[in-house]
Amino acid sequence: MADHERPFWEGGARGELVVQRCRECGGLNHPPTMRCRHDGSAELEWTVLSGRGHVEGWTVNQHQWLPGVPAPYVVALVALAEDPSTRLLTNLVGIDPAEIRDGMEVQVTFVRPEPPDDGLDDDVWLPLFAPAAGP
Ligand SMILES: [Zn+2]
């Protein structure tokens, strides 16, 4: 894992969705990069978001790509509440794929995959989304 993306992957240990924000333009910056995708500024900081968003698109995957993530599972594009132009490619959990609706409100939840067997011991948490509980 590159250092400039570590806080995003480690925020889940505290139940926090942590995303880069630019000090120059105030825009959210995801996926993490060394420079702001809006204005090229290197003045990026980390901010804790609400973890809420809405579904912009999804697909049901019938093929198992990752150990511990059995098919079928839902791959979704989630627009973040603080800035819907910033989206996460993620999985939807806790819902029957037939019940998913465009624009439905979702809330982040984290899973920690089995650590890779490479001795690096990265503390990685995957941000997944589940239907939001009420307004
Ligand atoms: Zn910027």
Task: Tell me what pLDDT residue 89 has.
Answer: 95
Ligand 1 center from residue 29 Cα (angstroms)? 8
Task: Tell me what pLDDT residue 121 has.
Answer: 60
Residue 101 lies in a domain: yes
Task: Tell me what pLDDT residue 119 has.
Answer: 62
Residue 119 lies in a domain: no
DSSP H/E element including 10: helix 6-10
CA distance 95 to 131: 7
As a whole number of angstroms, the longest Cα–Cα distance in the chain is 43
Cite the DSSP H helix spans in the chain. 6-10
Ligand 1 center from residue 40 Cα (angstroms)? 6
User: Residue 64 is part of which domain span?
Assistant: 3-114+124-131
Residue 92 lies in a domain: yes
Residue 29 lies in a domain: yes
CA distance 71 to 1: 26
Ligand 1 center from residue 22 Cα (angstroms)? 4
Task: Tell me what pLDDT residue 54 has.
Answer: 98
Ligand 1 center from residue 101 Cα (angstroms)? 32
pTM of the predicted structure, to 2 decimals = 0.87
Ligand 1 center from residue 24 Cα (angstroms)? 5
What are the average pLDDT values for consecutive 10-residue runs of the chain, which has 135 residues? 89 96 96 96 98 97 78 93 96 93 97 71 87 80
Residue 110 lies in a domain: yes
How many domains are there within the chain? 1
Task: Tell me what pLDDT residue 117 has.
Answer: 64
